[in-house]
Structure 1
């Protein structure tokens, strides 16, 4: 597909981040369009990126090869049903709306629509996101590659074999940033209780988290081995790890993520 045109319905933070990342990569401003109800938001996008904008979703949908649905899940059905039936043949639709299944999208857009369902996470706003992707059978290899190019503009993406795995992706990476924020919050407070000024405890915590993540990403061993390497027998780290183990930290994490995955599945049913 030569110079495909990508249209975003919804111009919020995630769409803005994707557009910015795409334009820093191989995409050109004349390939990207966006529609939104907010004139102010569209004017900002136009000034910042030099892309075409519109308040008319139908007009945008007729003129693009890829349609990215970036609106709130609660309004997606109404948005989809209002789109014109005479869109480009084989137009790829990528949904980043949480909880909306491909079967729901197909019922609103047409059974033969090439659909990709995507679960990004908030670090995408900083170009450090990770997205789980699922494609229906109508999506071609070329369209899958194009979806990767779009989502990889703000991080990395991983394909899933089954749509149900989106719920697990939600539990791991979609909700995951909040888990780490919660741990960092707790570590900062504990450091303060140990006598550190809060700003010192916070900086120590944040940059320790950043450094540990960077080590894990670039290491040739898994995180369990990295943990073992910094846990000297009889040392301070061992005492902390033993305390975590007594409180069943692995079990706590597993139960929390199971709860997140279950709620993701429930939301999909509620929004169907």
Structure 2
């Protein structure tokens, strides 16, 4: 799928580097197939030396030489970057944006032309190749383009293909989700300390428990309720703990957190869209 493609990254921050690492680690690309840009010379130097890829400070050079372009820049500078390279963009190039909150039509508006666009919402866990990403195709993106995007993001975890209007919900669940889980792990470790464990042991026990539970759920394909029932026994410790969690409203609180984060994502997306489309060139 990517064997003969040149892949360009506009922006070589944490997300850009994670994707470069994933592509190389999964042997989907060779270093010479990847060209990246960044405004920071020291960052480009570090990426080139670490991964053996090509680097430049000139965004147009990346676009001209690439078949697939990943827009890995902050939403605040998206307009500036797209306008800088717009003359080199056309429907022959697949453009993948990972800029949070930037809708596909806003990117086309900045470029003042129709483009072959895909928008992706990854999460921070791509940095350890265990992320999850949601992929939404624009009107000119073909099935093959979506498969190419999925191949890229599967190299850093798992990915799903959805409609663009659902990306705010994805942001509320999996985009913000690592923060929820970090809080839960921290709380579990605090609990371990309270009942006599050392902080280091409690953190290992809590984090590995979350990892193992997630892996068991994924690999068995069982409903989480069924797996929960496997842990609980009549009058046992797990059911006593679950009763306390339900009494404290954990389930409702998590549902509310996802819902509030989703609504906040919609508000921020509207602000970003208005800023992009209303700014004067």
Judge same fold: TM > 0.5, yes or no. Answer: yes
Matches within 5 A, 1:81-96: 81-87=83-89, 89-96=91-98
Matches within 5 A, 1:1-272: 3-24=4-25, 25-87=27-89, 89-160=91-162, 162-272=163-273
Displacement of 1:88 in angstroms is: 5.1
**DSSP 3-state at the match of 2:65:** coil
Q: Alpha carbon RMSD of aligned pairs, Å?
A: 1.3
**DSSP 3-state at the match of 1:204:** helix
CA distance in 1, matches of 2:228, 2:58: 53
Structure 1 unaligned regions, length at least 5:
none
Does the Cα contact within 8 Å between 1:63 and 1:87 map onto a contact in 2?
no
CA distance in 2, matches of 1:88, 1:113: 6
**For 1:55-80, what per-residue CA distance to the aligned partner results, in whole angstroms no more than 9, with x for missing partners?**
00012111211110001111111111
The ranges of structure 1 where at least 4 consecutive aligned residues each deviate by more than 6 angstroms after the TM superposition are: none
**DSSP 3-state at the match of 1:27:** coil
TM superposition score normalised by structure 1 = 0.96
**DSSP 3-state at the match of 1:62:** helix
Displacement of 1:89 in angstroms is: 4.3
Larger mean CA deviation between 151-160 and 242-251 belongs to: 242-251
Structure 2 unaligned regions, length at least 5:
274-281
CA distance in 2, matches of 1:129, 1:49: 20
TM superposition score normalised by structure 2 = 0.93
CA distance in 2, matches of 1:200, 1:49: 35
Displacement of 1:201 in angstroms is: 1.5
